[in-house]
Chain A
Amino acid sequence: MRKIVWTNTFWGFCIRIIYRIFWIKIKYIPNDEILWRAVYNEKQVKKDGTLKPAFFRDKNGLSCDLARFSTIEKSRMGHKKPPRWGLHSGLVELDVSTLREIGADVQHKPIKKKRENNYAHCQFSSFLATDLARKLIDNSRIIIKPTFSQESDK
């Protein structure tokens, strides 16, 4: 069951639903899985559209979503009702293997709150200093370009 959950098959889909319903915490995320992190604020992006190194830095554990258990729109909107984020936010994608190659790791930490249910939520388990954050930026992909407005500052 643990292997099937990561497959793109009908049974994989069914098992993922079971995982979500019973809020089963995933112990190990395979290397070929994908992580998403929303680009919410224009201050996280340089004038040329590239990410600033600070985008991947958080001493408290950087938040991201496990793509397998999310959708692009949900990750962009912050898994909240009403949506936490506006439609201006972008989305950055990176491979779990990339994270592990630079000596970091990620853990599944689903969030269940009154107004926020995010089973896909994950957290970096190690802090990325500037040199590692830059490596991650070089190896990540902006899959949805943010379109910022003044709203994003508020």
Chain B
Amino acid sequence: MYDFAINTPPKENEYFFKIKDQVPRCQSITPSPGQSTNIHLNNSMINLIQRKKIASECYQELDSYLQLSPSWDGYAGKVFDPKLIERAKKVVQKIESLFNKYDIIPNEITPGPASDGSVDVELSYNNNILIFTLYPDSEVIEIFLSKENSPTLELKENNEEDSVDEYLLGILY
């Protein structure tokens, strides 16, 4: 199901998985000589791998926006500012660390490019949707929150990236 690089075990009955920059230790191992090896992962590790996969796809897509040429949308689409992409990545990092903290998996983290050179980071969890919109010419982050149990849609503006956490918690509870 996942792509792992299995290294030589540093200790008996112990394997390490290399997932990009992180090396989480697996819980237990059942070596079967001459046969495929059964590897048992605890839920926390599976969650971590899934979160890594979601976040890594998101970073890759954000990076790919830098390769887009003018009129990338077929109309007058503007190219993306590398600084803006870095800011968007920071938002994704915050999302990732929050979900790591609570050991849960977001349904999706999807970046979205707009014709005016702005970028969205859309987070979905339990039918709640949180969208961060970042503009190249402004430090303000527009935050859109749609919660399943609440019919009201909120649109807030915030110019402090640190308080992104506050809205992230809003999607969990």
Residues of A within 8 A of B (CB): 38, 40-41, 43-44, 46-47, 52-55, 57-60, 62-63, 78, 84-85, 89, 129-131, 134, 153-154
Contacts and interface: CB of A to CB of B under 8 A. Distances in A.
Interface of B: 61, 64-65, 67-69, 71-77, 108, 110, 112-116, 118-120, 122, 131, 133, 135, 142, 144, 146, 153, 155
A85 B74 contact: yes
Contact of A52 (B110, B116, B146): B110
A63 B64 CA distance: 23
A40 to B, nearest CB: 3
Nearest to B119: A54
A54 B74 contact: no
A54 B100 CA distance: 27
Contact of A130 (B61, B77, B108, B120): B120
A130 B133 contact: yes
Contacts of B61: 43
Nearest to B75: A63
A54 B67 contact: no
B120 A53 contact: yes
A131 B131 CA distance: 9
Contacts of A57: 114-116, 118, 133
Contacts of B68: 41, 43, 153
A144 to B, nearest CB: 13
A44 B131 contact: no
A84 B112 contact: no
A57 B133 CA distance: 11
Contacts of B72: 40-41, 153
A35 to B, nearest CB: 13
Contacts of A38: 74-75
B116 to A, nearest CB: 4
A34 B144 CA distance: 28
B123 to A, nearest CB: 13
Contacts of A63: 75-76, 115
